[in-house]
Structure 1
Amino acid sequence: MIDLSDLDPFASGYNRHCYQHPDEPTLCLKVLRPENIEARYQRQAWPKKVLGKARIDDNRQELRAHQQQAIRKLLAEGQSSLVWAHLPRFHGSADTSLGTANVSEFISGSEGLPAETLEHYLQRRGFDQSMQEAVDRFGHWLSETGILTRNLLPHNLVIAVRNGQPELFLVDGLGAPAIPDTLAVLPAWRRRYIERRVRRFYLRINWEIGDRNDSWEASQKL
């Protein structure tokens, strides 16, 4: 049992808190926020409620996402370095004082602090040349590996220096919904799915650095 009672999360989303492991600082622990999971469940229409709370359990979804075909195939072929080139190394789950946590590599920036998100970087420096190149490498990696993600959002990617240059790491949003995941056995469908995600990612970046007169949701309807 990992005791997190005296720790503050270094990052929080709506569904999970992220903690640095108290005994192994190179590891990140993602713990569900049950009160928000319950609130999200209660807001759903009854047909979705019938499907249960497991479908909105981010830890469960992340475990499943790491079992997707592309990742299993690459690891079986001994290409782990390619898999983890833009993903935190994943170590399964562990029991904590706050419930079961997903355990992954803690991606750090300068002085061992949590790595900066792409969202924060864009706010500070815009979409400069070095980040354009990093995004391009990330998109190429997705195409090369065939790894499926949900919509790519700047707050779900962090930046770490590798081999003297900034690289993006996807810390949330791995995996695809059930139907796309099933259809991904078709190479042409998988390729189009990834291409759509990458194109949408660039649109989101342009929205992030723009005037934001419209919300992101409203901008999709233009």
Structure 2
Amino acid sequence: MIDLSHQTPFASGYNRHCYQHPDAPDRCLKVIRPENIEARYQRQTPLKKLLGKSRINDNKQEQLAHQQSAIVSLIRQGQESHVWQHLPRFYGETETSLGAANESELLLDEHGNPAPTLESHLQKYGFDAPIQAAVQRLCKWLEKTGILTRNLLPHNLVIAQRNNQPELFLVDGLGAPGAQNMLAAIPVWRRRYIERRIRRFYKRIAWELGDRQQAWEEFQRL
């Protein structure tokens, strides 16, 4: 068991804390925040409660997302390297003193610190040419591999240097809701789903670069 009792998370979301592995600094441990899972569950309608808590457990959903057909197919075909072009390597579940954690590659900058997010880059430098090219490569990768994601959000993408150029890696938001995963067996549906995610991604970048006077929920509907 990995002891995290003396560790401080380097990042936290509403549902998970992210820790640097104490014995392997190039790995990340994502630990569920059970109090928030319970709070989310209690807000569900009675019908949705019948579906259980695993559907709102981000670690369980992330594990399922790595089992999606596009990823499994690429690995079976000996093309595993294509999977990790824009995803951190995933090592599965491991036990920690804070409960079960999802263990994955921790993307680092040149100083050994967690790599910056696309969100922070946009705030500091705008949508500059190197990052525009990185976004284009990410989108082409999605189209080529057919890997399904949820909405692509800048705070869920980090920037790491690969072959002397910045590349985007999706550290959260892999996969799609259950019904979409089943429909993904239809090639035309899969292509259109990915195209919608890409269009919404560019729209989100435009919103991030604006004054944000309008809520994202309203902006995305324009």
Q: Residue deviations 1:42-73, cap 9 Å, x none?
A: 11222111211111000000000000000001
**Alpha-carbon separation, structure 2, partners of 1:83 and 1:221:** 31
Q: Deviations over 1:54-107 (max 9, x none)?
A: 110000000000000000010111111111000000101100000000010011
The Cα of 1:213 is off from its aligned counterpart by 1.3
SS at match of 1:211: coil
C-alpha distance in 2, partners of 1:202/1:73? 28
Deviations 1:106-149 (CA, angstroms, capped at 9, x unpaired): 11112110000000000001111111100000000000100000
Amino acid at match of 1:177: P
Aligned to 1:8: 8
Identity %: 67
Residue equivalent to 2:219: 219
For the residues of structure 2 that align with 1:190 and 1:51, how far apart are their CA atoms?
25
The count of corresponding residues between Structure 1 and Structure 2 is: 222
* Equivalent residue, structure 2, for 1:65: 65
The TM-score, its normalising length taken from structure 2, stands at 0.98
The corresponding residue for 1:153 is 153
1:163 aligned partner: 163
| Structure-2 separation of matches of 1:48 and 1:41 | 9
Unaligned runs of 5+ in 1: none
Residue 197 of structure 1 corresponds to which residue in structure 2? Answer: 197
Which residue in the other structure is 1:209 paired with? 209
Counterparts of 1:84-163 in structure 2, within 5 Å, are: 84-163=84-163
Instruction: State the distance in 2 between where 1:27 and 1:2 align.
Output: 12
Runs of 5+ unmatched residues, structure 2: none
Q: Give the distance between the partners of 1:173 and 1:89, measured in 2 at CA.
A: 14
Query: Runs ≥4 in structure 1, deviation > 3 angstroms?
Result: none
Post-superposition Cα deviations, 1:157-179, rounded to whole Å, max 9, x if no partner, equal 00000000000000000001011
Q: Distance in 2 between matches of 1:21 and 1:79?
A: 28
Output the CA distance in 1 between the equivalents of 2:46 and 2:108: 42
1:183 corresponds in structure 2 to 183
Do the aligned partners of 2:19 and 2:29 also contact (CA within 8 Å) in 1? yes
State the shift of 1:186 in Å: 0.8
- Please give the alpha-carbon distance, in whole angstroms, between the structure 2 residues aligned to 1:105 and 1:191: 28
- Compute the TM-score of the two structures, normalised by the length of structure 1: 0.98
Structure 2 counterparts to residues 42-57 of structure 1, below 5 A: 42-57=42-57
Bigger mean CA offset, 36-45 vs 11-20: 36-45
